[in-house]
Every structure is written in C-alpha cells, then in structure tokens.
Structure 1
Amino acid sequence: MQYVHWPLTCKYQSQPPVVLHEVFQPVSSTTLEPGIVSFDFGQNMTTMVKLDVSGPAGAEIVVRFSETVGEDGRVLMPDPLFRQFETGVFCKITLAGNGKESWEPDFCFTSARFVQIEGVALEAGHGLPVVHSIVSRHVSSAARRLGTLKTDKEDVNAMINMCYWSFASNLFSYHTDCPQIEKFGWLEVTHLLAPATQYIRDMESLYSKILDDIIDAQEPNGLCPTMAPEIRYMCGPLHDTITWGGAVALLPEILRFYYDSTHVFEKLYSPCVRYMEYIETKERDNGLIEHGLGNWGRDIAFGNNQANIETAIYYRCLRNIERMAKELGKSDGEQRFRHWADRIARVYNDELLVTDKTLHPYAFYTSRDDLNKKDRNMVAQAIALQFDLVPAQYISDVQGAFLDTCTDANNKIQAGEIGLKYLWNTLADLDRPDIVLEMARQEEHPSYMRFIRRGETTLNEFWQDACRSKCHDMLGTIYEWCYEAVLGLKPETEAYRTWTVKPPLKSEFRHVAGTMDCPYGLIEIEYIKSETEGTTMKITVPTSTTGYILLPRVESEATVTRQGGQPTEKKGARIALRPGQYKLCLKP
C-alpha cells in the first residue's frame, strides 16, 4: 500500500463562516414561452435559491442565473467573450415525483437578480412541473454588520445601497473580486476598500485570515502574488503588482488603526521584509516602481500613472514596516525602513514633482506615461497628497493643481479603481461635495448614477453598460466618502478611541442619519438643516471614546445639551464630546 503525503498544513478556521442572510421574494414572474419562466428578485446579490416544485418522476428542470436579461426577457451575458455563462452554467434537477419537492444548492452560489427556470409552468394544466414558490437567499460572511447610512437624496441612497450589496456579495472566506465569474482573491480591494468595508462588516478576523493566505502564497524570492489564495497563476503584471501584493504590509496597519489589533505583526514582519527586498530589485531611476498594473480600470487597461501609484504604495509599505518594527522593538529594522522610506520619498519628488512653474503657475505632479512631456492629471495630484509625499511648501499648489484638473475634465471621473479612492479622499479633505456629486451624477460613464438610471442594483466591474460582471465592488470607494463627508464620521485614533464628526455644511444634504458600531459601542449621528430651526445634530458618543465636532472657524459656536443636563455654549473649530447622548444647535 502506498500513502500520499499532502504538502499542506491543516489550520483551524479563523474567519467567520459563510451563512444565509436576507430572503427575497420575486417582485415579478414572467412566462417567456411555454415551459420557460423568469423571476425578477429586484436586487442583484450573491444567492442560493430555494425552489418548491412538483411534477412527475424523472422530469428534468434547468435553473439559470443572471444579472441581466435581454429585451426578450431571457438571461443574458452582455459580454460575448463570456457567453458561456449564459448557456453553459446552470443547475439541472431531476424530480422524484413524490409531491411537492424542495431544491436548494448544497454548496455553490452565484450572483443573480434574475432566475430563469426551464421545463416548468406557474400553474397546473400545462403538462409541466409546477413552480409553487422560489426565494433568493443572500449568502455572505457571518461577520456582523456595523454601519447604517441614509440621506434625504434618493439617488445618493440608491448609490449607497448599490455599494452595500456589492460589498456584502464579495465577502466570504476571502474577499472575492466577483461572485459569479472568477471568484478570485485579488488583493487590491482588501486595502483600497478597507475604510469602506469597515462600515459594512466587522472585518478584523477576515483580514487576519487573508494575511495568512498571503503568507501561504508568498514565493521563495519574496514576491507576494496579486491574489491569495492563489487560485490561478497569472502572468506578468497580473501576477506581480505592488498595489495588489503590497496588501501584506498594508493590511496589518489597517488592523492596527481600525481595530487596535497588532496580533499579526510578529508573524507578518519577516514576510513584509522579504517582499520589500524583492520589490527593491524592481526599482528604476533609484527608487521608482512602475512595472505593474498602474491605475487599473481606467479605460479597462493598465499603464496609467504607474510610477505615481506604485511608488506611493511602495513608500506606504515601507512606512508601515517601520511602524511594525518599532512596535516589535526591532530598532535596527525601524531605522532601516525609516531611511529606506525617506529615500523613496526623495526620489518620488525628484522625478515626479514639477516646481519650475513654466507650464502652470504652481507646482504639480506629472506622470511618466509619456516621458516626452510633463502632464498633469487628477490621480497624480491626489496620490501625492493622500500618501503625505508633498513637501509642506507645495501642498496648496498641488491642491490647486488637483482642482484645476477636475475643472479641465468638466468634473468627470478620470481614474481607474486604484486612483478612484484617492480622488474621493482629496475632495473630502478639500470639502468639495459639489464636485463629488457632479462626478457621480454624470449622464455618461464614468458615472455611478448611470448604473442606477439603467436599473443596476450593484456595481459593474468597469464603467460600462454591457459589462461581464455586474457585482464587482472595486469601484465602491465612494462609500467611504459617504460616511466621511456626508455623515461626517471619521476615526482619528485606533479603534475609534477618538473620532471626528464634520457636519456637511457645504453640501446639498439637509437630513443625514447614520450609525457605526465601533469597537467601543454604537456611534449615532443625525444632521438636520432646517429653514426654521437652523442646523441641529444629535450625536451618541459610546463609552471610553471622545468625539469631536469639527466646525469651519474658531469663531463657530454650538449650543450643546447632554441628555439630562443643561444647555451650554461652546465655541471653536473643535468641540469635544465625552460619552453620552447630545443635541447640538450649530452656529457655524
């Protein structure tokens, strides 16, 4: 007898299980032709349907799933390259013939709004099995939901809902890119979407597990591939891009900041060092990294802003490892990575910052997309600002350059999935909700509201109408902006020990309400702007935390009433709120 020794190690399940959540009834059913019935559940999402049907023994029923239907009402894959998902992916059921039977998949799931069943009728008398009922059951990680948010603008609420269902439908035992075609564990979304997904679910244990997957996937030369678990080996930049593999050094810092958790630092330190040593071999011009996917998703290509994005990610990874070394008491490592990061910052500005003011009346960042010219685009400015790479004397210049690029683009999005997050972050810092909403509401793509006007209930993979995947979350970074700039909530120190609320005074919103169940308890915020009562807020500050109201001027005033107490007058641009429930009347 021969024994096979598997090259694997069994580990306990550290992440939450995958469970069923909401149950949806169909909003409509249509007989497309005798024997073919289509059900519309009104919401695209990850689903495991449950079907009750009766019919004769041996009768065969085919169940097809789709995010889109054609003009004839039949399931449709819009991208002809993936037409196999329309014709070749289905479930076939053979009836036992013992009355009403229930069928549900044992293990598989997909993303669907529409379910097409073939070989059935909706009522008896047609010589076909009869569908008695069907429900769509949302399946996702059991990690608890943490945040809620609603405004007085229905299109914004629809966008928030679209982002929520896109996120929730991609969180399982790892973070999938889409739940119906690839189901791959691409890593860029783990860190790009972390400030957004922390409002969706408690991500601490799932991110910790993903880091274990990255360690398992790391190659002997130190390279961390673009996906973990590495379900499929990719080639070129689809295998080796720091914006993806850099999650090994970015996620530990995310765990520290949002959850005050450093438990992964010890086991991640060596993998992080090995990855940086590998990336160092890819440096160009003394420190630039530009061999990867760049601003992936911009015109559905790669190569845009490679040096800006990938070098900035490199810099952030080095700073994170410097912090990790300090936390672990590795003084030599701390010094090594501080000097290393300082060198990359110098090279970044030497190569990409233009200060001669011959092309524009201010300093700005150029890309290296065309080495024969110094261009100026919004992503180059936003990346430098958000990664703290801009020398202090040029910050106002680069902010001005950023706003000028928005104006030049008629406030249309000019970013792929990587740069997109940093556009919203920069516009939040500059307090320009008007530009964000104009970008989101464009008639043509790129546009979130175009998705909504076309009836989409989850995000498409790219800025396209006829997209292969209509449940991708990579464009959902605007969800972070909604919490930070509309609700006004932003963590300031670890695990929300201190946090800020910046009321959306410059926005069109007149009523915003939301909650966040942070590690210390429930934060509640309501903002009301009334013609008769002025601007008021209700805020709940959980125990062991301090919230700060951010107002526009040091002369700003607020009447603050703590539950059970008397009104007090406060003045300043930053007003502290200790644990308790408050009502505030603002005089900004």
Structure 2
Amino acid sequence: MHVTGLGIHGFAETLAVDEPELRVYWRVESPERGARQTAYRIRLDLMDAPGDPRGAVWDSDWVDCDATRDIPLEPEDPLLPTTAYRWSVAVRDERGRESTSEPAGFHTGYQNSHAAPPLSPNRDIMPDDSLLFRSWFADPDARWKGRWIGTTSDRPFYVRREFELDETPVRAVAFATGLGHLQLFANGAPASNHRLDPGWTDYHQTVQYAAYDLTGRITAGPNVLGAHVGNGFYAGEQGDRFFWPLYEDKTYVRYGNELPFVAELHLTYADGRRETVISDQSWRIRESATTLANVYASEDHDRRLFPTGWTAAGFDDSEWRQASFIQGPRGHLRYQSQPALTAIETRTPIEVTEPRPGTLVFDLSQNMSTMVEVSAMGSAGDRIVVRYGETLGDEGVLVMTDPEFSEFGTHVYSTFTLAGTGEPETWQPDFSYAGARWVQLEGVAPMDDDGSSGLPRITDVRGHFVSSASARTGTMTTDVDDANAILAVLEPTFASNLQSLHTDCPQIEKFGWLEVVHLLANGTQYIRDVEDLYTKILRDVMRAQDSDGLVPTMAPEIRYMTGPFRDSIAWGSAIVYLPKFLVDAYDSTGILADAYPAAARYMSYLQGKEVHGGIIRHGLGDWGVSGAYGNGHANLETAIYIDCLRIMASFADRLGKLADAVAYRNKASEVTRVYNDHLLEADPETGRYRYVSRDGLPTSITAVNQAAALQFGLVPAEHRADVEAAFIAEAEKATFETGEIGMRYLFLQLADLKRSDIWMRMARREEHPSYMRFIRRGETTLPEFWADEVRSKNHDMLGHALEYFWRGVLGLRSLESAYRVFAVDPDYTGEFASVSADFASPRGTISLRIDRGAQSTRIHVTVPANTSAVVTLPAYATTVAVNGEPASAISPDASAATLSLTSGDWRIETEGTA
C-alpha cells in the first residue's frame, strides 16, 4: 500500500496557511484486491529540523481507523506564524504491513490576520508600544508588518523595491496583494503563473493575498521585487466603456478610491536566521503604461509609456517617486485558499478574415474566457483597437445580437498603442479577461501587406484560456456522437465560469449568482476538484448575508438588486447546500461549524416569508422558462425549503445540537404536510393525483412540478405511482419546459427512472429548447437561454446535462463519505451501447466501462483501495460472472440485482437480452 496525495482541506496552495485548525487528507493505493487501511499515524515537524527531536511538533501515534480525509492536525501548541512545516503519514493495511508517505510541506501565514489588517498609516502617532494601543499591537511577530502603499490615486501603477543580500536564503516566500488585481515579479520574471491575483471578495470584509515561492529566485547580491496593480472591482473604472454595475441602474459603489499594495518577503537562511522585506516608503512607484483597467475587458495600454526592464535589478528608477502610505481597504487579509487563475490552454487562430479594410478577424475556434495576446510591428503612436466577441454578423464583423445590450458590443474594447521599436511588440491584458471566440483588430494592415498600407502589421495573435487551476477529475466518452458533442461543449462552458468565484458568464456580467453554484456543484465535481474553490465561495456567501438573515442572490454582492432579484430561496439556499456539498463530495467538515449559525439565521429569515402555514413563493421560481421569467414558485421554492430544513437537521446531528435537529425535522414534516395540502390534488377526470402550480405565472401541471416532489421525497407513498405517471406523461412531450432551477430535478428524475430515451429526444430537437440545435449552429459553449441569439453564449446555467450523463447514463454517484462507498448504476436500456469514464475521486481513480452487446453486457470497474462499490446489474441478466468466476464466489452478498465489490480491478460479464 502506498500513501499519496497529501493535502490540507480548503487550501489549493499551502504557502501561507492561515487557519488555526487544519484538517488533512491523503489517498492510499494498492494493486491488491480488498486493500484497505486499518490504521494511520501522522507526524508533524518543523521544516528546518526534520528528524531532529527539537523539530518534532506532533506525533499522533497509531490511530486504528480507515479514515483518510477530514483528519485534524492536533499539535499541543498553536502553529507558529510564517513558518515552514512538513508532515507525513504512515499507514497499516489489512495485513498489518506499514507504509509511509513522502513528506508534504506547508508554510503558515498569520493565523490572526483575519481579525487584524495591516497597520494604519497613522502608525507614527500610534506607536506599537503605546499603552493605549498595546493590545492591538500585541505579539507583533504574529501579524502583518508590511504597510499599505500606493500612489494615492485610482490609476494603475508599477511599484518596485531593490535590495541586496549577503547570502542566498534557503527559503524565500512572498506574501502580496494589490487591489483590484496585481502581477508580482521577482528579478525580471513573473513570480508565478497566476493571473488576476487576488480573488474577488467583498473587500470591506475580506481581502485575499497570494503567496509565492521564490526559493532559488532570490539570491545573494542585488534583487528586486515589483508589482503591477490595477483596478478590478475594488475601484472599478468605466472610462468611456461598458461597465455593467453602472449600465442599468448605477448601483455600483466603489470599495475604495486609492489602489493599494502590501507585501512581505520572508527569507530563511541556512543558520536559521530570518529576515523580512516589507512594503513601506522605501519602495519606488510610478503610473502604469496601462492607462485604463476596466474589468469588463477594456484596457488601454500605451507602449511608449512602458518602462522596459523595470522588473529586473539594476533598472534606473531615479525618476520614480517614493511610494505613499495609504489607508488601504477595510477588509481583513486572508490567504487566497482557492486555486489561482491560470492559462489552462493556449489557442492560435484557425482562420483570419478581412471583412473591411483595416480590420482583421481571428477565429480562435473556441468560445472561452480568454486573455488575448497580440503582437504587432508599426510606428510610434500607431493605435490598434482590440475587440472580443461570441458572434459574427452577416458582414463578418463582431456583433451583439441582443439589442438591449448593444452598448456591450460597441463599448467593450481595448487599445494597444505601439512604441515603434522596429521589433514586434506584444500586449495582453493584465487586469481582465474576455468571453470570446473571435478577436477583431481594427486599424491594422492586411495579413499580406507589403508595407504600402502604412498600418501596423500583426505578427501573432493567441488566446489564453483563463480558468481556475482546480485539478481536472473526470472524462467520459460514449458511442453516441450527439452525447459526445454535448459533453464536449459542457467542458469549456464550465471551465470558462470557474474563476475565483463561480461566475454566470465570462463576458457581459461576470457575477457570482448563487443558484448556479449549488445547482451545478454535483455536476462540476465530476470534471473538476472544486473543494477549495467552493470553500472560498461559501465564505463569500456567509459574508454577504444581511443582519436579518437574508442571503442575497449573488456573492460578492457587486451589484445591488431589489425584490426577488435579491431575495430568492433557490439562490440564498446556497448557504445550506454548499456545506452539504463539501461534506458529501469531499468529506470536508472544517467550515461546517462556522457555516451552521449563518445557515440557521437564513432558515429563521425564511420562516418569516411563509404563507399558508409553510409555503414559500416569494422568489424567482423556475427562472429561465421561455427566456427569463419563472414559474412554479411554490412548487420549487417550498420543496427547497423543506430540503434545507432536513439538511439543517443533519448538520445539527453532526454538531451535537440535538434539540435543533428535532426542531428542524418537526418543521420539515409540518411544511411537507402543508405542501401536499396546497399542491397535490386529484385529476377531476381520472382521479389520479399530481402536483399543480398555483403561484407565479400560468397555473399548470408540468414535469418539473412532479420531479421536484419526487426528488425531494415529498410524495405520499400511496400517490407515488400516480405522480411518476404524471411526470412521464409530461416528460414524454420531449421538451425542456423548465427553467434552470427545475432542470436539475427534471434530469435527475429521468436518471432515476432510466429514461435516457426521453432525455436524448429532448436534446436532439430541431427547434429550441434543444442542446443539439446549439451545436448544429456551431456553438462551442452553452448560451444563456434556449434561443439562437442571446446576449451571452457562454453561460453554464443550462449545464445540468453534465450531471445527467455521469449520474443518469454512466450511473456513478457517491453513496457514503466522498466515494468511500459508491454506486455504479448505468442505464442499460437506452441507446448507449458503450460508455466509459475515468474519475479521480477524492479517494482514488474510479475507472468504468460498460459495453452492451446483443446477448451480453460487460462491465469493467476499477475500485480504488480503501473503498467499495455497489454495482447494479442489468435487470435482464440471466447469468453473472466476475473475473471469470461465478458472482457468488467473489461477492458473497450478491443478489440478482447488485454486486458489492471491494477494491480492485473487476470484469463483470452478464448474459441476457434486454
């Protein structure tokens, strides 16, 4: 047995871990069948003293347990700030054999920085040793020493600090942030591959900082740290361009009007000495060559103003001025725990067209969240206009097809002004990304220009696909071309919207609407490991909550909404669903104790919204039906309310709040009774029961109404057959008569009933609603609504197909504790004769392949060590063999319906015809 994959829950990178209590995880691997961990032992040491008894921090001793996730580190003393640690895990297998992992390292930040932002610029009149402020400055080693600095303006700037060292440190870790975003440089090169650090937050409450490992980059002799800082949402800059929070109702209020920067470089030497370089007035600063940094993909960059070589040591910054101390944001500094944004792919154009003189259009072949890179040669002052778009008009130029957002089509662009160096000059945005497939360059020469045009010549165009660096987890393929085409569109749609929050789209809004976060979570985890990202998002949600308990529809609340657009349970319930998702998908409970009180306040708030003794109907209902409006408000919103009450009861059980658990269960039972009294009725003609809409828009009987009641377990047992029949009758109309809220429950009900035939008929419709209509029209991501031309063509709110394929067609889902036990329950009766997938679950890679022939079905499943699988067999199977032996010899509890399998590689063959 081998121990791999060591990590800390909630932290994608571990260079400035700032939680006082840490929970860790690992995986065990073994080629042997039935391999399982029976005990573990964790050792924690100071990094600089491994094996030295003086460096030993904690030894758990042997713990008889098969758990590999959610394990607390429990040293007697708190972890030291800004200190490097290493930890390792030893395990015993079922035969008592021991194996020890390679050590994993982590570096701490400031555990108390959540409650103490960097020092005020008034430090001169509030000295550290002042009696009045002594408690504030207590334990100075455990808090930030860097100071907020800037130009005292809201314009992008460069800032640098040159310093000299007598010897090379054995470790160099930088902490830095700049708002809205920064790029950090060290000795002439980027400090990392990160883009758009730090993540977006409510800067009045939390400001994230990133950490960078500069070990080996900082050496004896001259060194330089530098940063480029731009606006982001912190001090959003419109200029003369589109900026949504100021577009419709001008509700955007800046968090600050001075762009701030703070940094610390922590150096450790071989003899144990430590040194810290901090941001202060010794840093030199000047305005940026980026003169506009609009987060909606409009940046202006004048290469004539660019200080070539400014990130390298030896640069002459004598004309730069001294940095100024500034107040900085209100929010407390917190380590950027979610994965950084990186360029996950780079695309070059597959076609270049010239729709009109001076304009070139480059087709990157994929709609995506992109940072465009343009290289050109020309004369000093030549100005290139860069536009980005998702749709080409009839004339071959970019268009915005939604007339209500025509300004987005005309007022989103960047300008690149050349310095005229005689060499290719390259630009790409530093502080924004665009949602685009095509790049349109204006004021440029034809590609075959002989120099007679006098216009700048383009030498290269690239599109860098910017997304969360969260690990990819799963791939699936089938023998059905249409299904594969839909899967291919889903992947870039989701990736485009996984940023430092789960955005609705990468171009026109970029907001963190909360319904997509929790509704798509279970689908997203099949293709990306989103534990760390969703932990950060949950904190965003908790901080967005109002004092009365309301959870707004977006977090951070960048744009201020009113009515149901701010208060809707299908959005606000993210405060309940996200901790449940983290527990179910990743066995991650570290944030649950903090989330529970916030979720409880939200449930109390909802109780004040009840009508008819328990019905909830005040929100947006099934948003997205027929364009935008919702329907079935009481049906969906009350079902979600009941589900949240039940989830809260399970949280209360876990946290030992037994009285709360009883109260929530009783409340859920009472609201369920009201729900059925209000919405379940007999058809006056047939006498068969079904659920009807009584709230919102037209009163109706829909598949979604039935699916919601069935999926949430609200249907009385005596009426379940009737309701399932009503569901099938509506679903067989084969239209997606659902908005984005009800869609998930509609799809899951089809999955449970093994009706992929209905689902595929829906998907293949010639007219909308139809997934295949999008693909036939050449879309490479999913548009916002079921329509040919919409304002956004890269929304993942229609992406519930992803969860459907993994759960409904392949049949993979977790049954217990983050895939400690998982189900394989494929659809054996549809058109899919072959389905295969690999899924890097939290406990190891699950591989599946299902092949159906005319007389037999073969199932190949790899079950990771320390896990088990329950495989549902075809109902028509007459004989079952496992690895060439009768099923009963391998799985003693085998039944005609299922097999229980321990870890190993299993080949199941059944005879029988469907």
Distance (Å, rounded) in 2 between the aligned partners of 1:6 and 1:244? 28
Structure 1 partner of 2:899: 575
Q: Give the deviation of 1:179 after TM superposition.
A: 0.8
The alignment status of 1:11 with 2:334, answered yes or no, reads yes
Any gaps of 5 or more consecutive residues in structure 1? none
| Residue deviations 1:436-476 (CA, integer Å, cap 9, x gap) | 00011111111111101111011110111110000000010
1:251 aligns with 2:578: yes
- Deviation of 1:381 after TM superposition, in Å, equals 0.2
Q: Contact conserved, 1:303 with 1:369, CA < 8 A, in 2?
A: no
- The one-character-per-residue Cα deviations of 1:279-306 (angstroms, maximum 9, x if unpaired) are 1111000000001000000022334100
Within 1, Cα distance between the matches of 2:882 and 2:532? 38
Which amino acid in structure 1 is aligned with residue 565 of structure 2?
L
Provide the rounded CA distance (Å) in 2 between the counterparts of 1:9 and 1:568.
57
- 1:324 aligns with one of 642, 651, 655: 651
Match for 2:873 among 536, 545, 551?
Answer: 551
What is the DSSP-based 3-state SS (H/G/I as helix, E as strand, rest coil) of the residue aligned with 2:823? strand
Work out whether residues 379 and 418 of structure 2, in 8 Å CA contact, stay in contact via their aligned partners in 1.
yes
- State the alpha-carbon separation in 2 of the partners of residues 219 and 571 from structure 1: 52
Matches within 5 A, 1:146-545: 146-354=473-681, 356-369=682-695, 375-407=700-732, 410-531=733-854, 534-545=856-867
Map 1:15-164 → 2, pairs under 5 A: 15-98=338-421, 99-121=423-445, 122-125=447-450, 126-164=453-491
User: How far has the Cα of 1:261 moved from its partner?
Assistant: 1.4
Say if 1:100 and 1:336 are closer, same or farther in 2 by CA, change over 3 A.
Answer: same
Q: Against the structure 1 CA distance between its residues 76 and 283, is the aligned structure 2 distance closer, same or farther, given a 3 Å change threshold?
A: same
Q: How many residues align?
A: 582
Q: Deviations over 1:1-31 (max 9, x none)?
A: 9885854222221211111101111111111
Q: 1:260 to 1:78 in 2, by over 3 A?
A: same
* Cα 1:262/1:562, change in 2 over 3 Å: farther
Higher share in strand = 2
SS at match of 1:132: strand
Give the Cα–Cα distance (whole angstroms) in 2 for the partners of residues 277 and 579 of structure 1: 44
Instruction: Work out whether residues 557 and 572 of structure 1, in 8 Å CA contact, stay in contact via their aligned partners in 2.
Output: no
Question: CA separation of 1:485/1:370 partners in 2, compared to 1, >3 Å: closer, same or farther?
Answer: closer
Distance 1:539 1:318, change over 3 A: same
Instruction: Name stretches of at least 5 consecutive residues in structure 2 with no aligned partner.
Output: 1-120, 123-325
TM-score normalized by structure 1?
A: 0.95
Misfit runs of 4+, over 6 Å: 565-570
Identity between Structure 1 and Structure 2 (%): 46
Q: AA paired with 1:515?
A: D
CA distance in 1, matches of 2:900, 2:660: 38
Cα distance in structure 2, aligned partners of 1:83 and 1:221: 38
In structure 2, C-alpha distance between the alignment counterparts of 1:39 and 1:567, rounded to whole Å: 62
Which amino acid in 2 is paired with 1:45? Answer: M
Q: Which amino acid aligns with 1:318?
A: L
Which letter does structure 1 place at the counterpart of 2:857? T
Q: Equivalent residue of 1:585, what SS?
A: strand
Amino acid at match of 1:152: D
Give a deviation string over 1:335-384, Cα, whole Å, max 9, x none. Answer: 11111111111111111111x4424342111111389x973211110000
Which whole-Å deviations, capped at 9, do the CAs of 1:486-528 have from their partners, x for residues lacking one? 2221221121111111233211122221111001100111122
In structure 2, relative to structure 1, the CA distance for the partners of 1:549 and 1:566 (3 Å cut) is: closer
In the superposition, relative to structure 1, how do residues 349 and 123 fare at CA in structure 2: closer, same or farther (>3 Å)? same
In structure 1, the residue corresponding to 2:404 is in which secondary structure? helix
SS of aligned partner of 1:495: coil
Q: Can you list the C-alpha shifts for 1:137-194, whole angstroms capped at 9, x where unaligned?
A: 1100011010101112222111111111111100111110111011111000111101
1:492 aligns to what SS in structure 2? strand
- What SS does the corresponding residue of 2:535 show, helix, strand or coil? helix
Q: Distance in 1 between matches of 2:879 and 2:585?
A: 31
CA distance in 1, matches of 2:348, 2:628: 39
SS in 2 for 1:149: strand
Contact 1:554–1:572 at 8 Å: present in 2 too?
no
- Greater relative contact order, per chain length (Cα 8 Å cut-off, separation 6+): 1
Rounded Cα–Cα distance in structure 1 between residues aligned with 2:791 and 2:840: 35
Aligned to 2:169: none
SS at match of 1:56: coil
TM-score by length of 2: 0.62
**Larger deviation, residues 3-12 vs 449-458:** 3-12
3-state SS in 2 of match to 1:48 = strand
- Contact 2:751-2:809 within 8 A present in 1 as well: no
CA offsets 1:15-69 (integer angstroms, 9 cap, x no match): 1111110111111111112211101111111111112211111111011000110
AA aligned to 1:100 is P
Alpha-carbon distance between aligned partners in 1 of 2:373 and 2:830, rounded to the nearest angstrom: 44
Q: Equivalents in 2 of 1:501, 1:20: separation in Å?
A: 34
Structure 1 distance, partners of 2:497, 2:788, is: 21
